[in-house]
Structure 1
Amino acid sequence: MHSDIDTPYYIVYEDRIRRNMEILSHVAKEGGVKIIMAFKANALWKTFPIIADYFKASTASSLNEMKLSLEFLGNEVHTYCPVYTDKSFPEFLKGSSHITFNSLSQFNKFYPMLKEYNNSHPDKQVSAGLRVNPHCSVIETDIYNPCMPGSRFGEKPENLADGLPDGIEGLHFHALCESSSYDLEKVLEAFKTEYGHLLPDIKWLNMGGGHLMTRKDYDIKHLISTLNKLHEEYPSLQLIMEPGSAFTWQTGDLVTRVLDVVEDAGIKTAIIDASFACHMPDCLEMPYRPNILEALPDDAAEGHVYRLGGNSCLSGDFTGDWKFAEPLKAGDTLTLLDMNHYTTVKTNMFNGIQHPSIWLSPIKGSPVLLREYTYDDYKTRMD
């Protein structure tokens, strides 16, 4: 917490990012896997120079993500979109190293264009892949479950019983969300059961994201063992992983201030100068309750219980409850932990509420302001 910075503000820590990069680098080396960054979890490009010391490849699901990588991270962009359009696909071809199609119908529509591009660009080949659905659900929250019944993601195994069409060089599956290596092991078995007959015919396998290998309780040794077993089975297969949360897990906080305390039906709510709906939407989507530095442990026998309410007019802009050693009052500062991944990238300007500023705490020296928002940011969104 920095008392000279006006709340609310996000603060990201360089040393924590580098700690995560060291873990990911270890897995990449020992597991023989290419690890690429997923922009959907983190697009704070002013921190990319730190990440680029370790990784320079990314996955993109939009033209904007692809352009951001090309400008600030690296030229190796693995693109996947549920659908491409006649307008967007030629631009994806120019900026991508890999393009994964969600269905055979999308592949059949756009592969002739990809093939023609490769024929006319011998020095920049684009590798085509196909997303598949292993139908193995290990995620409890449906909004983040790509393998839930009725999923729109990935081609079904019965449509690939006779093999892959000419031109497809890789397969892609994504079935995890902040999951363990044991979840990956389970999904891999399901994947091999349904699509294993295709593995001898491809060059690469992208195992998607959701590998939370920077979490303290993640079994890194088991992950590396799982990857090495896959290498033993298919020694010529390039393995790819695209974790999102793992890159910036526990690397940043949101510092906010209590502005008022209200009570109704015996529930005390501390209204803060930030918003869950605008600044921490994942808390409401997932949903989850973030840890607060100043709060007591959940199992504390005693304490003053409060819900936190955001400063928007959305009735559901709140979450809780937390216990505190002393009653909360206007002016108290609260530090909401782990507010970097899937946070700044999802923020919105509902109600015209001002965004928190964004700061970087370098390993040496004072915090550096990365971004401060003004009325013009709200106005120009509709300009």
Structure 2
Amino acid sequence: MNSNLYQHLDSIPSPCFVLEEAKLRRNLELIDSVQKAAGVTIILALKGFSMYSAFPLVHKYLSGATASSLNEIKLVNNYMGVKAHTYIPAYRDDEFDEIVDRSTHLTFNSWNQWERFKDRALGKVSCGIRVNPQYSEVATDMYNPCVPGSRLGVTRDQLPDQLPDGLEGIHFHTLCENDSFTLERTLQALEGRFADLLHQVKWVNFGGGHLMTREGYDTQHLIGLLSAFRQKYNVDIILEPGSAIAWQTGVLVSTVLDLIDSQGIQVAILDTSFAAHMPDTLEMPYKPRITDSYHEPVAGKPTYRLGGMTCLAGDFMGDYSFDKPLSIGDKVVFEDMIHYTMVKTTTFNGVNLPSIGIWKEDQHFLHVRSYGYESFKDRLS
């Protein structure tokens, strides 16, 4: 964590998502180096990172973004100044024409959707079809688009041997924070089922899940895979990572509100919520890292179960040890909380959403936004 940021925690509202601008730029520079070396296009996936106050910086390195709803499309249009690459599992009739007008690329999830909407899209956007290669190494079924009965993508038996005129792209997305060697095995499965169709299209969208900014990721291996595939099939390649863009670029700052002894277990109740503000920690599930703590209990050290501030019984995470006992008012800083966090927050129980801020490269805090009653009320009626 940036030491200067850590020294200024008392000046940051709590709870608050804090993006570190320098770390975002570092990620973008690496991603840009990959796309230039491989001759591919890498775009931002809004489902992982929709912090539009950072879009001007993102757009200096990435040409565009991918969206999965009309609202995300509008965010791309308004704050990146470009049309979107769009994939929605099922298009609404009353939104479709506006989606086409606001997009450059449009991926259909099923052959039925293609047949239903193609006449309203052809000649206006570049159309593609999402395929299911029936291979994925994602361990959690909730995040695995290739489980039996998956609604995401078309299997090879549902496609003709000759793609119709106007269907210019193939889109697959089967990775989730994986490495390039997982991609290599996935491409083998894709080619095993769809090689004949890959020779018929102009572009192939590799989806997201390429965690190229994680320490130890072999970017040279990735560049080699992308370059070889592009040359083999003479296609443009598009990648749309979500996590990789904002990987380890910021934190969620929270504060201890209360300390209780629960049948011998020490509990620290925070002003944030795992269920409402960090739902991936419960869905995936995973245990987030906390600055200046031990990720697992250490005998002899002060150890706490951390509780969220909603009344949901399961809104807790444990257990963590610290070098000294926690006190009411202490800051607890959750690391790597920028991707797939802000995009999933809720106001369950009427809990306020965390504020949003940026720790700027010139070492000052920019308070971008806070939330209150109106944000809660506007979700209801």
Report the TM-score when normalising by structure 1. Answer: 0.94
2:42 equivalent to 1:35: yes
Query: Aligned residue for 1:25?
Result: 32
Residue type of the partner of 1:154?
G
Q: Do structure 1's residue 140 and structure 2's residue 139 form an aligned pair?
A: yes
SS in 1 for 2:127: strand
Query: Matches of 1:297 and 1:345 in 2, distance apart?
Result: 25
Q: Which of 105, 108, 127 matches 1:101?
A: 108
Counterpart Cα distance in 2 of 1:157 and 1:265: 57
1:80 to 84, 87, 101: 87
Secondary structure, aligned partner of 1:88: helix
Pick one of 293, 296, 305 that aligns with 1:295. 293
State the Cα distance separating 1:365 from its structure 2 match. 4.3
Matches within 5 A, 1:327-366: 327-366=325-364
- Per the alignment, do residues 328 and 243 of structure 1 end up closer, same or farther by CA in structure 2, a change over 3 Å counting? same
Match of 2:247 among 249, 254, 264: 249
* Residue pair 1:245, 1:341 contacting (<8 A) in 2 also: yes
The answer to whether the aligner puts 1:230 opposite 2:232 as a matched pair is: no
Contact 2:73–2:83 (CA under 8 A) maintained in structure 1: no
TM-superposed deviation, 1:297 = 5.3
Once the two structures are overlaid, the 10-residue window that deviates more, 296-305 or 34-43, is 296-305
More off after superposition, 322-331 vs 240-249: 322-331
The aligned counterpart of 1:57 is 64
Partner letter of residue 182 of structure 2? D
For 1:121, the equivalent position in structure 2 comes to none
Shift of 1:161: 4.8
Given that 1:276 and 1:317 are in contact with CA atoms closer than 8 Å, whether structure 2 keeps it comes out as: yes
CA contact (8 A) 1:296 1:303 kept: no
In 2, Cα distance between equivalents of 1:31 and 1:327: 51
User: Which residue in 2 is equivalent to 1:122?
Assistant: none
* Cα contact 1:174–1:207 (8 A) shared by 2: yes
> Once the two structures are superposed, what CA deviation does each residue of 1:265-322 show, in whole Å capped at 9, x if it has no partner?
4322211111111111111111111100020354856522221100000111011221
Counterpart position of 2:149: 150
- What is the one-letter code of the residue matched to 1:197? D
Deviation at residue 56 of structure 1 after TM alignment: 3.0
Structure 2: tracts of 5 or more residues without a match: 1-5
Deviations 1:157-214 (A, max 9, x none): 0122523222210000000001111111111100000101111110000000011111
How many Å separate the matches in 2 of 1:160 and 1:301? 59
Amino acid in structure 1 at the alignment position of 2:260: V
Shift of 1:24: 0.4
CA contact (8 A) 1:58 1:74 kept: no
**Contact 2:17-2:356 within 8 A present in 1 as well:** yes
Confirm or deny: 8 A CA contact 1:56 1:74 kept in the other structure. Answer: no
Aligned to 1:207: 206
- Whole-angstrom CA distance in 1 between matches of 2:207 and 2:140: 18
Of the three residues 38, 44, 64, the one matched with 2:51 is 44
1:195 is aligned to 194
Partner of 1:175: 174
Residue from 255, 258, 271 that aligns with 2:256? 258
What amino acid maps onto 1:178 in structure 2?
Answer: E
Aligned residues: 374
| 1:86-125 equivalence runs, <5 A | 86-115=93-122, 118=123, 125=124
Asked whether the 8 Å contact 1:253–1:338 carries over to 2, the reply is yes
Structure 1: gaps of 5 or more residues: 119-124
| AA matched with 2:90 | V
Paired with 1:70 and 1:299, the residues of 2 have a C-alpha distance of 47
CA distance in 1, matches of 2:351, 2:295: 31
CA RMSD, Structure 1 to Structure 2 (Å) = 1.4
Residue type of the alignment partner of 1:232: Q
SS in 1 for 2:94: coil
SS of the equivalent of 2:371 reads coil
Aligned to 2:3: none
Distance in 2, matches of 1:356 and 1:100, equals 34
| Residues in 1 aligned to 2:53 and 2:103: alpha-carbon distance in whole angstroms | 22
Equivalent residues in 2 for 1:275-290 (5 A)? 275-290=273-288
CA contact (8 A) 1:180 1:219 kept: yes
Task: Report the CA distance between 1:52 and its aligned residue.
Answer: 1.3
Q: Which residue number in structure 1 is paired with residue 377 of structure 2?
A: 379
